Copies of this chain bind each other. A is one copy, B any other.
Amino acid sequence: MYEIESKLIEKSGLTATNQRIMILHFIYEIADHPTADDIIDWTQKHCPKISVATIYNTLNVFVEKGMIHAMSPPGSKTIYYDKNTHHHYHLVDTKTGKFQDIDAKSIQFSHQIEDYAVEKVDVFIYAHKKR
């Protein structure tokens, strides 16, 4: 149980504690772009006495180590966490507020920005489903 999570945590040089495993498990296997609050809710139900301090600290450590991704839609200050897999963008459904991963290949960049070395691109597409 939780071998994947444990491995990932240890690979980053951290101790695979219950709290960390549960947080990572939630982000990787259960939640879809959760906020810190979502994570607090779920982990506190599934892990007796995990404290918010630990959760915030852990999330910061995970982001530092590159195990998860943090992002916030432009104009919002809410941070959403995301498993850090391949390169993808986000489609924001403006009706539901839900995120959807979309493939990076659906967007092409022309070489207009030639004197810059692009490191990372984050794209937020706000849209609603056509009836």
Surface stretch bound by B, among A8-16, A18-26, A47-55, A109-117: A109-117
Task: Tell me whether A113 and B91 are in contact (CB under 8 A).
Answer: yes
Q: How many A residues face the partner with a CB closer than 8 A?
A: 41
Chain B min CB distance to A101 (Å): 12
The copy count of this chain in the complex is 2
Interface centre among A70, A74, A109, A127 (most CB of B within 10 A): A74
Complex: A129 Cα to B90 Cα, angstroms:
26
Complex: A31 Cα to B97 Cα, angstroms:
31
* The residue from B105, B117, B118, B126 contacting A118, defined by CB atoms under 8 A apart: B126
Q: List 23 A-B contacts (CB under 8 A).
A: A63-B75, A71-B74, A72-B73, A73-B122, A76-B79, A77-B77, A91-B113, A103-B112, A105-B112, A106-B112, A107-B107, A107-B110, A113-B127, A115-B129, A116-B127, A116-B129, A117-B130, A118-B127, A119-B126, A119-B127, A122-B123, A122-B126, A123-B123
